[in-house]
Amino acid sequence: QPAWCAMHRYLAGRIKDKPDNSNRRFAIAAGMNYTVSKGPFPFWGAPAKEQAKTLSSKKGDFASGRLSEFRLAELYLKKSGRGNPKSCWQLAYTGSVGSQSLMGIPHVHKLRDTLEAAKLWPFETGLRSLDEEALAETKTLICEIYPSAVDVTPEPGEIIDRAQVRTIANYYSELDAKGTLGACFGAPDSLDTGKIEQIEQEEGWILVK
């Protein structure tokens, strides 16, 4: 099975989001670090009570080249000036997304298995422009987004997270109405074949115009 699928199944089988909002994401990250490096790498950013020999509060040595600190999608956003995303390996502290990734992937896995004719982009569709014909057998397309890619103005009393969701939903809806959304699912011209394969098999991509 592809790397992305194995990873989704692995996390779905281990991470449980309990009713009291507690979970074992730090312990699971520490275990994954042990498997990868036998030390506190690549996941990092643990509060004091969650630190262990294989999970630190500080970033590990990404300069060694063992793993990249950022995915290709995140590097693309940075280089194109469309955002400054944090690394998915960072679990805590300002702007971090690692914990959200660990907790969110099991829910994505469940949605894909529960919803009728659901597919994950770009893993199951390819990193390519999509139209009605390409999605003829798909009723739900699940995509990764980056809310900070669009400017947000919260309404009076509205929290920023809610405003971001509302704004980016309207943004994609408007692109769809104009007939330009389908092209957003394609690969930027700057990506070569090897990188596209890496994205489709393992890393995924972020839906941006």
Question: In sequence order, which residues have a C-beta less than 8 Å from that of residue 193 and are 6 or more positions away?
Answer: none
Dihedral pair phi/psi, residue 173, rounded to 5°: -60, -40
CB atoms near residue 18 (< 10 Å): 8
Is 67 within 8 Å of 42 (Cβ atoms)?
yes
Question: What's the pLDDT score for residue 5?
Answer: 97
Question: What's the pLDDT score for residue 190?
Answer: 86
Regarding predicted confidence, which is higher, 46 or 193? 46
16-58: pLDDT as tens digits: 989 998 999 999 999 999 999 999 999 999 999 999 999 999 9
Please give the Cα distance from 171 to 185 (Å, whole number). Answer: 15
Which one, of 95, 200, 201, lies nearest residue 146 by Cα? Answer: 95
CB atoms near residue 114 (< 10 Å): 9
Question: What's the pLDDT score for residue 209?
Answer: 85
167-178: pLDDT as tens digits: 999 999 999 999
Question: What's the pLDDT score for residue 204?
Answer: 98
On the question of pLDDT at 65 being above 90, the answer is no
Which one, of 76, 97, 77, 99, lies nearest residue 86 by Cα? Answer: 97
The token duo for 112 is: 């894909």
When pLDDT is averaged across residues 60-70 and rounded to a whole number, the result is 93
Q: Is 90 exposed, middle or buried (0-12, 13-18, 19+ CB in 10 A)?
A: buried
pLDDT band at 156 (very low <50, low <70, confident <90, very high): very high
Question: What's the pLDDT score for residue 66?
Answer: 87
Please give the Cα distance from 72 to 205 (Å, whole number). Answer: 8
CB atoms near residue 159 (< 10 Å): 8
Share of the chain above pLDDT 70, in %: 100
Question: What's the pLDDT score for residue 43?
Answer: 98
Average pLDDT across the chain, whole number: 95
